[in-house]
Amino acid sequence: MLIDDIISSTTRYNLHSHTQYCDGRFTMDEFAAAAAASGMLHYGFSPHSPVPIESPCNMKSADVDEYLATVKRLNDAYQGRIRFYAGMEIDYLGEKWGASHEYFRRLPLDYRISSVHFVPAPDTGEEIDVDGSPERFVKRLDQYFGGDLRYVVDTFYDRTRDMILAGGFDIIGHFDKIGLNASVAQPDIEDEPWYRSRVEEIVGLLADSDIFVEINTKAFAQRSRFFPHERYWPLLTDRRLKLVVNSDAHYTDLIDASRGEALSRLSAYAH
């Protein structure tokens, strides 16, 4: 399998990054140059997938062909130095949209990441992005969810559970990202038994799958936190889940951000 081959041969990889096609801040060409200069051997692009709702953070379906062609062009240009991959971070919106949808099965992608970013408002069903900054999350918690934090967290993990069961993807992205935002609204929420049970449920499902679990390093420098939180890493290693360390880069100077720290810490949990 592609990902197995990459991570078993080197740590000089990153399979989660965002460019001009979604909410990234640099072009694919700029990311390619930075990745090659950094000594990366394998670099994957993973734009936020098209979705059937209005979202400024997601790529447009009309751009997919150009995106795939750009990956091919970059591989031709950097042949022998670095390998680029056409991935995609696919939003799960319940039964109506996700990695198992026929649209994504038809796309000639090298791998698929699947993540939950949206939770439906309880009154209207409107899909609300709960993945942004903690400060924005707190405002949206009141605006769209009437301050019902338990509903948001439970629905996030319900969707994560259903996403795993639906399948169609290779890597699960930042599966406890909601913990960071929820902790701003309720600092001790991750110490609650019910919260940990939700995380343990997800880990159990992943253990019964062939899905890679992403250790996402994006927030470590600013928030001193990985996704999933390091407190859960013993669960991951005890169950022998397959792990891949990605930086979720939106800026070219962050393509390798905190990956070394994560890899070093992971070695302490190795069996």
* pLDDT single digits (tens) 165-219: 999 999 999 999 999 999 999 999 999 999 999 999 999 999 999 999 999 999 9
What's the one-letter identity of residue 200? Answer: E
pLDDT tens profile 146-167:
999 999 999 999 999 999 999 9
Provide the greatest CA pair distance for the chain.
Answer: 54
**How does residue 220 score in pLDDT terms, banded at 50, 70 and 90?**
very high
Spell out the SS3 assignment of the chain: CHHHHHHHHCCCEECCECCCCCCCCCCHHHHHHHHHHHCCCEEEECCECCCCCCCCCCCCHHHHHHHHHHHHHHHHHCCCCCEEEECCEEECCHHHCCCCCHHHHHCCCCCCEEECCEEECCCCCCEEECCCCHHHHHHHHHHHHCCCHHHHHHHHHHHHHHHHHHCCCCEECCCCHHHHHHHHHCCCHHHCHHHHHHHHHHHHHHHCCCCEEEEECCCHHHHCCCECCHHHHHHHHHCCCEEEEECCECCHHHCCCCHHHHHHHHHCCCC
Average pLDDT, the chain: 97
Task: Please say if the pLDDT value at position 271 is more than 70.
Answer: no
**How does residue 270 score in pLDDT terms, banded at 50, 70 and 90?**
confident
Assess contact for 214 and 174: CB atoms under 8 A: yes
Task: Please say if the pLDDT value at position 109 is more than 80.
Answer: yes
Task: Please say if the pLDDT value at position 46 is more than 70.
Answer: yes
| Other beta carbons less than 10 A from residue 229's beta carbon | 14
Q: Rounded mean pLDDT of 230-249?
A: 97
**How does residue 10 score in pLDDT terms, banded at 50, 70 and 90?**
very high
pLDDT tens profile 17-36:
999 999 999 999 999 999 99
